[in-house]
Amino acid sequence: MKDGIHPSYRKASVTCVCGHSFETRSTLGKDFRIEICSNCHPFYTGKQKLVDSAGRVERYLRKYGKETPKPETAPTEAAAAE
């Protein structure tokens, strides 16, 4: 590697909104604030978080959800014989 062309690699602190923080290294050399980390992400915790703002999920389910399809009326054998 050439000397003098690479940025310095300094310690940086990463803090999540859940309160978890850890230390890493970065060329930016500043602290980071993130919204989600491995301690609070649903994929890693196994818990599903549902963010429903203004009842959008319920409105969707009322419109599209759990509606049973109507069975098609098949021609009966008696009607087919005529």
Q: Spell out the domains of the chain, with CATH numbers in brackets.
A: 1-43 (4.10.80.400)
Residue with tokens 């859940």: 18
Which runs of consecutive H residues, i.e. helices, occur in 3-74?
A: 42-45, 56-64
50-79 pLDDT per residue, tens: 665 667 778 888 888 876 556 666 666 655
Assign 23 to helix, strand or coil.
strand
Report if pTM > 0.75: no
Local confidence band at 14 (pLDDT 50, 70, 90 cut-offs): very high
* Averaged pLDDT, 18-29: 90
Local confidence band at 15 (pLDDT 50, 70, 90 cut-offs): very high
